[in-house]
A and B are shown apart, each in its own frame.
Chain A
């Protein structure tokens, strides 16, 4: 208990940073769920692909060495930019491919809801196993783009530059996405499909295109999360997506799956909850705490914090 009080702001800050990464990943779940009413099981591997893309860009293409790159000024800026771009594009494209391979054919045939789930699990296995074969199952180290120096101290919390970057840029990305969905033509198309697929189709919305774009956007956001993750933690592995994917999915459900604002609240709440629980009960109990809180929340709000009642979903 003592730690929670004396280190409260430190914990809150790092919890929030972790939470913001969850927010971006959970968008990959929640957006897809919004239009398809299906869990995008492969999103954890879409994240994993992003982390590797970041490393390939900074290490192999830009030529930065692990643990030695101490970049400044313009080099730092363009390196970060290209890594972010690489990660987002790789994840975005992977997401589009996942939709084509795992969902499209099944969707057009109007099958049961579990078939796409299993084919998405199949893709998950294929992606992570392919990467595992390529990397011999080893952890891969990312070059240090940002030196992890402490910038300043607020209320006893050390604010590090990499964490600050996440703290500022992730919300910007989130709110631009929200603007995009609410105010652009394409975004309206996505919302239309998520409200009623049939009607949207009748109104002339190109369903396949909208769904592809939804996957793309979810992938782009997940890719951005992968970039931030690499900036902060600087390592990845073929199975890196598994835990963080479950956490982000939990966050999406906590907030109300299908709801973009819910993803933000759910992700942030989950990051904080995990950190506080680790401090009070010990790190080994954090996932249990999370699930218990989730069950309690769902008992009182069966559709999550922000979810509107979803029409009955059949298996």
Chain B
């Protein structure tokens, strides 16, 4: 039993996964990736089959839960991960960008003839603009000072929405339009309240695009600059990395992903109100990242899925489900402080290398 536990403790899924991936050749990788995407795409149907219906959520509908909270949380976690995980800045007001995207969708969707697909870039644009406006004055701040300023920004956005009667004030805005249908070669994809699957697939596409973007950037100049900033900002600055510019970039990219999530959210739920954009959401998204494995895309995805899904799955314990959620955070953080799927530690690799050389 004991040995089992310790092997469990030393079991490192990320290394196993990385080893598996490294062992594949290009076509194998492509097949594997396509198979995985296909599996993820088939997930909404899992609730309807007897051998997977243990996944079903009580009260709430499984396919809808996959869109919000699960899909949205994963998307936002990936976005926030660019800021917190990649470049090491603590952002406690990420929900502001989600709110800006959602309100963009609600306002443009109701008062103009633009549809969701046309508003999507607008919402992303507004969120990125907000990122720039907030980033330029505040990104000079370090560590926890940045944390509180971003937290303040999140609250400012929410309170402004709450007290602006033009956009509904505390009542929010109802009747936000659904996205128009998409015509695909295999048939028409409708987006309305009866078709959570289409929303899920769309969110899945956004998630894959975000992952692709992060992976591309990570191995290129911005990724290296972020890594340098995260490791030691002063050293990075001395070595000629324009730290402020790359920090703003990571901030703005993260904001854009949040904005995209907001647009889809408003268009899916047809209703936005300030109560959807509380500080708690920012904290929750941050928890997803740290819980899953900060800095590691797959860890972040896993964290988002788990923490968004858990409270829905345990709805049968009604009152106490938040308590269980809190306990889970404590237990997992204590036993896997770097998350379920931690990122590779550079120090660790170097250390094991030098040890090998000595041997």
In the complex, the answer to whether A257 meets B144 with C-beta atoms within 8 Å is yes
Q: Is B297 an interface residue (CB 8 A)?
A: no
Q: Which of A112, A125, A130, A303 is within 8 Å of B145, CB to CB?
A: A303
Contact segment of B14-22, B82-90, B245-253: B82-90
Contact segment of B42-50, B150-158, B203-211: B150-158
Chain A residue nearest to B334 (CB atoms) is A105
Query: Given contacts A121-B287, A249-B148, A304-B145, is CB(A312)–CB(B234) below 8 Å?
Result: yes
CB distance from A201 to the nearest CB of B (A): 21
What is the 8 Å Cβ interface bit string for chain B, positions 240-274, against chain A (1 contact, 0 not)?
00000000000000000000000000000000000
In the complex, the answer to whether A294 meets B337 with C-beta atoms within 8 Å is no
Neighbouring B residues of A114 by C-beta, 8 Å: 84, 90, 286, 289-290, 294
Query: Given contacts A122-B330, A125-B329, is CB(A133)–CB(B319) below 8 Å?
Result: yes
Neighbouring A residues of B221 by C-beta, 8 Å: none
Q: Is B35 an interface residue (CB 8 A)?
A: no
What is the 8 Å Cβ interface bit string for chain B, positions 307-340, against chain A (1 contact, 0 not)?
0000000000001101101111110011001100
What is the 8 Å Cβ interface bit string for chain B, positions 273-313, against chain A (1 contact, 0 not)?
00000010001001101110010000000000000000000
Chain A residue nearest to B232 (CB atoms) is A312
* In the bound complex, CA of A101 to CA of B77 (Å): 26
Q: Which of B149, B286, B327, B333 is within 8 Å of A298, CB to CB?
A: B149
In the complex, the answer to whether B337 meets A112 with C-beta atoms within 8 Å is yes
* In the bound complex, CA of A183 to CA of B289 (Å): 42
Contact segment of B52-60, B104-112, B133-141, B177-185: B133-141
Chain B residue nearest to A296 (CB atoms) is B137
In the complex, the answer to whether B163 meets A315 with C-beta atoms within 8 Å is no
Q: Is A197 an interface residue (CB 8 A)?
A: no
Q: Is A250 an interface residue (CB 8 A)?
A: yes
* In the bound complex, CA of A191 to CA of B337 (Å): 28
Q: Is B61 an interface residue (CB 8 A)?
A: no
* In the bound complex, CA of A253 to CA of B142 (Å): 12
Query: Given contacts A101-B330, A315-B230, is CB(A118)–CB(B323) below 8 Å?
Result: no
In the complex, the answer to whether B294 meets A112 with C-beta atoms within 8 Å is yes
Q: Is A246 an interface residue (CB 8 A)?
A: yes
Q: Is A314 an interface residue (CB 8 A)?
A: yes
In the complex, the answer to whether A39 meets B149 with C-beta atoms within 8 Å is no
Query: Given contacts A123-B330, A125-B326, A302-B140, is CB(A284)–CB(B232) below 8 Å?
Result: no
Q: Is B122 an interface residue (CB 8 A)?
A: no
Neighbouring A residues of B319 by C-beta, 8 Å: 133
Q: Which of B149, B155, B231, B294 is within 8 Å of A287, CB to CB?
A: B155
In the complex, the answer to whether A118 meets B286 with C-beta atoms within 8 Å is yes
Q: Is A288 an interface residue (CB 8 A)?
A: yes
In the complex, the answer to whether B326 meets A129 with C-beta atoms within 8 Å is yes
In the complex, the answer to whether A250 meets B148 with C-beta atoms within 8 Å is yes
CB distance from A229 to the nearest CB of B (A): 21
In the complex, the answer to whether B142 meets A115 with C-beta atoms within 8 Å is no
Neighbouring A residues of B147 by C-beta, 8 Å: 39
Chain B residue nearest to A307 (CB atoms) is B145
Q: Is B160 an interface residue (CB 8 A)?
A: yes
Query: Given contacts A111-B338, A125-B325, is CB(A33)–CB(B144) below 8 Å?
Result: yes
In the complex, the answer to whether A288 meets B159 with C-beta atoms within 8 Å is yes
Chain B residue nearest to A114 (CB atoms) is B290
In the complex, the answer to whether A122 meets B327 with C-beta atoms within 8 Å is yes
In the complex, the answer to whether A111 meets B337 with C-beta atoms within 8 Å is yes
What is the 8 Å Cβ interface bit string for chain B, positions 53-71, against chain A (1 contact, 0 not)?
0000000000000000000
Neighbouring A residues of B334 by C-beta, 8 Å: 101, 105-106, 119
CB distance from B26 to the nearest CB of A (A): 34
Q: Is A102 an interface residue (CB 8 A)?
A: yes
* In the bound complex, CA of A115 to CA of B234 (Å): 24
Chain A residue nearest to B339 (CB atoms) is A115
Q: Is A202 an interface residue (CB 8 A)?
A: no
* In the bound complex, CA of A109 to CA of B338 (Å): 11
* In the bound complex, CA of A287 to CA of B230 (Å): 31
CB distance from A226 to the nearest CB of B (A): 21
Q: Is A222 an interface residue (CB 8 A)?
A: no
Chain B residue nearest to A250 (CB atoms) is B148
In the complex, the answer to whether B142 meets A250 with C-beta atoms within 8 Å is no
Query: Given contacts A118-B291, A122-B326, A294-B149, is CB(A287)–CB(B333) below 8 Å?
Result: no
Chain B residue nearest to A302 (CB atoms) is B141
In the complex, the answer to whether A118 meets B143 with C-beta atoms within 8 Å is no
CB distance from B256 to the nearest CB of A (A): 21
Most buried by A among B152, B155, B162, B338: B152
In the complex, the answer to whether B329 meets A119 with C-beta atoms within 8 Å is yes
* In the bound complex, CA of A161 to CA of B279 (Å): 36
Neighbouring A residues of B325 by C-beta, 8 Å: 125
In the complex, the answer to whether A129 meets B148 with C-beta atoms within 8 Å is no
In the complex, the answer to whether B143 meets A314 with C-beta atoms within 8 Å is yes
Q: Which residues of B contact A (CB under 8 A)?
A: 84, 88-90, 137-138, 140-145, 147-149, 151-153, 155-156, 159-160, 162-163, 230-234, 279, 283, 286-287, 289-291, 294, 319-320, 322-323, 325-330, 333-334, 337-338
- Known pairs A39-B147, A112-B290; list 8 more (Cβ under 8 Å): A33-B144, A115-B333, A133-B320, A257-B145, A284-B159, A302-B142, A310-B143, A315-B88
**Closest 7 A/B residue pairs (Cβ):** A122-B329, A125-B326, A291-B152, A313-B143, A119-B333, A111-B337, A122-B330
A-B contact pairs, 13 of them (CB 8 A): A112-B290, A112-B338, A116-B333, A121-B329, A122-B330, A125-B322, A125-B329, A126-B330, A246-B155, A295-B149, A310-B142, A314-B231, A315-B90
